[in-house]
Structures are given as C-alpha cells and as structure tokens.
Structure 1
Amino acid sequence: MERLNEISKFIKKFSLGFACVFLILFLFRLAYSYAIGSESQNVSQEQGSSTNFDYGRKNYASEKFYSPQDAKLTLSSSQKYEKVAAISSKTSEFEEDEKKIRKNVEDAKGVIQYEQRSGLAGRRTLQLGIGVNPDGFDSMVESIQKIGVIDSISVNKTDKTNEYKDITATRISLEKSKAGLLSLKGRNGKIEELISLEKEILEIEGKIQDLGVKLGEFDQENEFCTIKFTLKETGAVSGGFVTFLKKCKISLEWTIKYGLFFFFLYSFAAVGAWISWFLGTRILDYLKAKGIL
C-alpha cells in the first residue's frame, strides 16, 4: 500500500510538472504571436506577389530640351524615356485603401492598364499597373506613399532615345527595300521568281507593321509613365476576441506539437529515473534484510 501511495504521489508530481511546462510553452507562443504582429504579416505572401511585376505593357514619354548652338540660335531636341515607379504597401484596411488608390488614379486622370487580385480575406494582394501623364507622375507617386504603410519603393528612369532612333531608321530602310521590290513587280520574269518576290514583299510588310506598333508606343498621344503598385493585406479581417481565439488556436497547435516531443523525452527520462529509484530501494531493502547494511 505504501508503494502505491508513493507511485501515486510521483504520478501527481509528474502530471503537475508537465501541465506547468505545457502552460508555459503555450503562454510563450501566444506572447510571441502578439510580439511579431499578425500571422498574416509573417506569411511570405503565398500569392507570390512581386513588387516590380511585369505585365507586358510599355509606356514611354518625351521631353524637350534645348542645346544652344550660338548666341542667337537654339536647337530643340526630344528625349524618349521610360519612367517606372514600383511601390509596395501593407495595410490592415484593405478595402478602404483600395478605394483610395482608385480615387487617386481617377484624380490624376491615369489609366489602370493591369490589375490582378489574389488571396483570401485577411491575406489579399492587389497589383495595379497604372499609366499616368508624365506631368502628374511625381505627385501621383507622392500621394500613393500615403496609402497604407510603405514596404518598399523604387523609381527608375531609362533613356530610350537611341532605341527609338534605331527603330525609326530600321523602318525607313525596310520601306526603301519594299519600294525597290515593288518596282520589280512590273517586269517580266519566271513564275517562281515572281512568287518569291511577292513573299519577300509580304515579309518586309510584316516587319514594317511590327515596327509601326513599337513606334506607336512612343507616340506623343500615348505618352505615359508607369506606376506598379502592390497592396498587401496584413491585418486580420476580424479583430478583438476573434483574433485572440485565432492566436490561441495557433499557439495551442504549436504547443501540442512541441509539447508531445517534450512529453516523450521527459517520460523516457522519468521512467528511467523511477526504475532506478525502484531498483535502488529494493536493493537497499534486501541489503538491510540480510544485515549487510
């Protein structure tokens, strides 16, 4: 009976100790979740969002500048350039901030050229490719920075003047080649030669059309600068008690996972210690009974 009481006391002490350790682990994980913020903030945006995303559309703008040749004459030239701002913001008020960005685009008379939405409520991501007039580019970038909490921002300007000149020169060269080939169509020749000539003319026309599309992107009527804006939702949809329960759930799952590992480790050590204690007391009792001790 005495042995049973000792075993019962040992089990109670072990259970109390394990419960205390489990509670400490749970409270530690819960405090950690509040220290680092919302769980959705620490997810590396499963939607795979990228700040400087590519959506295929290219916007180019022109800028006039003057190079003085002498005291009386100035030469006007035009620079073609691409200006892109990549801005990423985090917000816990996703819907309200989405309305703000759309209002900013409308006020700046910009154009939303690309839009992608992804993620579930609480972890949503909105990507917008915005074309804005070069004159309103800086003010638009400044106003966007007031939406949510800025995570990153970069503004890059690339000179495209030489590229524009190369495309123009190539198109002029192709048009001359086409004119030369068309002049040959009226001459007599073999059917095979005429068919080959027609194919070559069609091929050149296709290249001229492709270059025409590229030159159209540089047209002053289509002049825009690009703003790539990414809005990531980081706050939980529900606050207060619901958020607390979610954190408790996550903390409990974490504690059970690592608590079980601790339980098996501690149980192995405890069983080993109990067996050692049990055998030790048996041996002592035996030695005492034999009068050795």
Structure 2
Amino acid sequence: MKSPFLKRAWRLGRWFIAGFAALFIFRIVLGYVEPSAARSNSRSGFFDGLANIRKNYASEKLAPAMVQLADVSLASSQKYEKTAEVTSRSADFEKDDQTIRSKTAAFKGVIQYENADGLKGGRELHLLIGIAPEAFDSFYTEVRKIGEIRSMSVVKEDKTNEFRQLNARKASLENTRTSLMELKSKGGEVGDFVSLHDKILEIESKLQELGVELGDFNADNEFCTVKFSMYEGKAKQGISFLQRVKVALEWTIQYYCILLGIVFFATLSAFILLLIIDKLKIMQIVKGND
C-alpha cells in the first residue's frame, strides 16, 4: 500500500509529466511545420524595390457579346498585364544559369533586366523576361523545373481602363494644343505670344510622356513578364528523427522550467497577497472590538 503522501505526490507529479509531454510533442510537431513555413517565406521580392522597371502589356480579343456591351472606345480587345514571379535555389548555379537563358531564347523571349552579383557559393541572378502572351504558360512551366523552387505566383491585372484613360488624356491635350495654335496664329501682344508658346511646349512635353506610356500598349510590344530570381546554395538535407528529438527535448526542458518558474512566482505572489488581505481583515476586526 502506498502512503497518503506518495499518492498525493503521484497525483501532482503526473500533471507535471503530462504538461512536459504535451510541450515536447508540440515542439516535435513544430519542427516538421517550420521548414515548410521557412520555404514559403524564402528570399523573394527583389523586383519590388526597383523603380522604373519595364511594364509589359498584352491584348486579348473579347467575345462578340462582350463587345456589344462594351463602350465603343473599348474597341474589341482587353489590355492586361500578366506577371509571373519565380524564386529558385540552385545547387548547380552555372548550369541553371545557362538553362534559363537557353529556354528564354527557345521561347523567343527578351531579357529586359538583369542583375547578377555575389561570389561563388553565394551568387544571385535576377532576370526580368518578356515573353509573348501565347508562349507564357509553356515558358512558366519550363522555368519551374529549374533548381529547387522556393516560391512562385502568377498575377493578371486588367489594364483596359488605364489604356482608355491615357487615350482620353491624349485626345484632350491634342484638342488643347490645336486651340492654342489657332490663338497663336491670330497674333497679339508679345507677352501673350510668349505665354502661349510656353503653354504649347508644356502640352507637347506631356504628349511625349503619354506617347511613351501608350507605346507600352502597342501591339508590336506585347509581352507578358516573368520575374525570375535564383540563389546559389546546396539543397538542404533532411533532419533525422533523433536530431529532432534532441532539439525538442532541449527546448522543452528550457521552456518548461521557465513556465514552472512563472507559475511558482505567480502562486507565491497570490499567497502573499492573500496573507496581507487576511492580516488587514484581522486588524479591522481587532479595531472594531476596541
């Protein structure tokens, strides 16, 4: 027969053991989840911090029913921007570098931006590739076979309204320029003539800027964009179960001790507080009796 003390100790102890086991199992499971989370948050977004990167736009014919419902100025095509972003890690950097370039050439793509830096063992390659819309999906599939893919995404944005707004601004500026040119031809004071000349030059400058923006929508320049980033590094080897157990055990002991310390000091503080409250009550009773 176990003594009452041993029974109480076992009842209390098994709660501590259960808590330790739960924390240990939690850390083991977390060890399997963390690598995938790290892969999804791998280095990417290199192109986000770059300004003035070439924008590629493409056209897509609308169905006859949609054309009938659309505004006349919309014509019969939709303007859109389609961008794929792929981040890869390569154990054979030079080979994969040649592969992406050869595939780009095979699909008649254009490297519109390139950034390569770093020393051997830690090199990086960032390419912005323009691909014809009809070859975009096939090229994207081939790019995903290069190295170890860490992240990938495809985004398609409708740019039809933006295209229409640019054309509307262009038409408005051309009308204004025509009106100013007519006023200029009528003559007048020198000050007014100079002011009109400056205004016409300003409008001409805006028209040139609009021409550059509209040029990106030109059918001859139609591309979709693939942003490809590749980082040099060997593929990570799997972690053995014994190593996971070792790490989980060390982590559990550390944080379980911290947790017990917090519970101990919280209990001690509550006990002291209750003693003080009880002491104050006794003092009040004594004073009341006096």
Q: TM-score, normalised by structure 2?
A: 0.61
1:58 to 38, 55, 60: 55
Q: Report the CA distance between 1:77 and its aligned residue.
A: 1.5
Query: Structure 2 vs 1, CA of residues 96 and 77 (structure 1 numbering), >3 Å: closer, same or farther?
Result: same
Query: Structure 2 vs 1, CA of residues 224 and 70 (structure 1 numbering), >3 Å: closer, same or farther?
Result: closer
Deviations 1:246-286 (A, max 9, x none): xxxxxxxxxxxxxxxxxxxxxxxxxxxxxxxxxxxxxxxxx
| Mapped partners of 1:69, 1:49: distance in 2 | 36
Query: Structure 2 vs 1, CA of residues 179 and 80 (structure 1 numbering), >3 Å: closer, same or farther?
Result: same
Deviations 1:3-38 (A, max 9, x none): xxxxxxxxxxxxxxxxxxxxxxxxxxxxxxxxxxxx
Q: Does residue 1:182 correspond to 2:181, yes or no?
A: yes
**Aligned pairs for 1:169-208 within 5 A:** 169-208=168-207
Which structure shows the bigger proportion of residues in helix conformation?
2
**Aligned pairs for 1:47-196 within 5 A:** 50=46, 54=50, 56-68=53-65, 77-196=76-195
Q: Report the CA distance between 1:235 and its aligned residue.
A: 2.7
Q: CA RMSD in A?
A: 2.7
In the alignment, what sits opposite 1:231?
Answer: 230
Q: Report the CA distance between 1:53 and its aligned residue.
A: 5.8
In the alignment, what sits opposite 1:27?
Answer: none
| Mapped partners of 1:127, 1:69: distance in 2 | 39
Q: Report the CA distance between 1:69 and its aligned residue.
A: 8.0
Q: Report the CA distance between 1:218 and its aligned residue.
A: 0.1
Deviations 1:141-180 (A, max 9, x none): 0000000010000100010000000000000010000000
Between the aligned residues of both structures, percent identity stands at 46
The alignment partner of 1:235 has SS state of coil
Q: Does residue 1:221 correspond to 2:220, yes or no?
A: yes
Q: Which runs of 5+ in 2 are unaligned?
A: 1-38, 236-290
**Which has the larger Rg?**
1
The alignment partner of 1:208 has SS state of helix
Q: Which runs of 5+ in 1 are unaligned?
A: 1-40, 237-293
Deviations 1:87-126 (A, max 9, x none): 0000110000001000000000000000001111001000
The alignment partner of 1:68 has SS state of helix
Q: Report the CA distance between 1:188 and its aligned residue.
A: 2.8
* 8 A contact 1:101–1:144 mirrored in 2: yes
| Mapped partners of 1:108, 1:69: distance in 2 | 32
* 8 A contact 1:52–1:86 mirrored in 2: no
Stretches (4+) displaced over 2 A: 48-55, 67-71
Question: Number of paired residues?
Answer: 191
| Mapped partners of 1:226, 1:162: distance in 2 | 20
Q: TM-score, normalised by structure 1?
A: 0.61
The alignment partner of 2:63 has SS state of strand
* 8 A contact 1:86–1:227 mirrored in 2: yes
Deviations 1:215-247 (A, max 9, x none): 0000000000000000110139xxxxxxxxxxx
| Mapped partners of 2:106, 2:61: distance in 1 | 26
Query: Structure 2 vs 1, CA of residues 214 and 194 (structure 1 numbering), >3 Å: closer, same or farther?
Result: same
* 8 A contact 2:67–2:76 mirrored in 1: no
**What amino acid is aligned across from residue 58 of structure 1 in structure 2?**
K
Query: Structure 2 vs 1, CA of residues 219 and 70 (structure 1 numbering), >3 Å: closer, same or farther?
Result: closer
